[in-house]
Amino acid sequence: MNMDSLDKSKRRKFWDTFAYATEGIVTALKQERNMRFHAISAVIVIAFGLFFSITKIEWLFILVSIGGMFSLELLNTAIERVVDLATNEYKPLAKQAKDIAAGAVFIFAIIALVMGIVIFLPYVLKLFL
């Protein structure tokens, strides 16, 4: 095997990782109700951002919130799947693992909601005042 074919093999493996990640996201969107809720929420928030012409800094907070929410929801889903794969019977530690992962998503969702209110409330109030 020459160096050129080795480089092509490494590049192919590198690009394959993006395909696997995309497949994971698509699977979560198809199979997880909460992931679909977050996706629809993200579209609505982006539409509001465009409508109100929010600032660059506000966009950064919105994008970090959306990305963080998706990332945590994907991790939560992965943890749930691994726990389900490990056991079919009720085990307190399995329940705790699932509940703790869901708690992380819940905390971030609350923070994201608060950030959205802080960013969008002044724009909404300007419409009515």
58 labelled binding-site residue: no
Sequence ranges of the domains in the chain: 1-31, 40-128
DSSP string, 24-51: HHHHHHHH-HHHHHHHHHHHHHHHHHHH
* Residue 99 labeled ligand binder: yes
Residue 62: predicted pLDDT = 98
Give the pLDDT of residue 5: 58
- The answer to whether the pTM exceeds 0.95 is no
Q: What is the mean pLDDT of each run of 10 residues along the chain (129 residues)?
A: 63 88 97 97 98 98 98 97 94 96 98 98 95
Residue 79 contacts residue 101 (beta carbons within 8 Å): yes
CATH-assigned architecture of domain 40-128: Orthogonal Bundle (1.10)
Query: Is residue 80 annotated as involved in ligand binding?
Result: yes
Active-site residue set: 73
Query: Are the C-beta atoms of 34 and 73 separated by less than 8 Å?
Result: yes
C-alpha separations of 45 from 17, 32, 36, 112, 113 in Å: 29, 20, 14, 11, 10
Q: Is 73 annotated as a binding residue?
A: yes
Q: Which residue carries 């994008």 as its tokens?
A: 63
Q: How far apart are the C-alpha atoms of 61 and 56, rounded to whole Å?
A: 9
Residue 74 contacts residue 59 (beta carbons within 8 Å): no
Contact 109, 51 (CB under 8 A): no
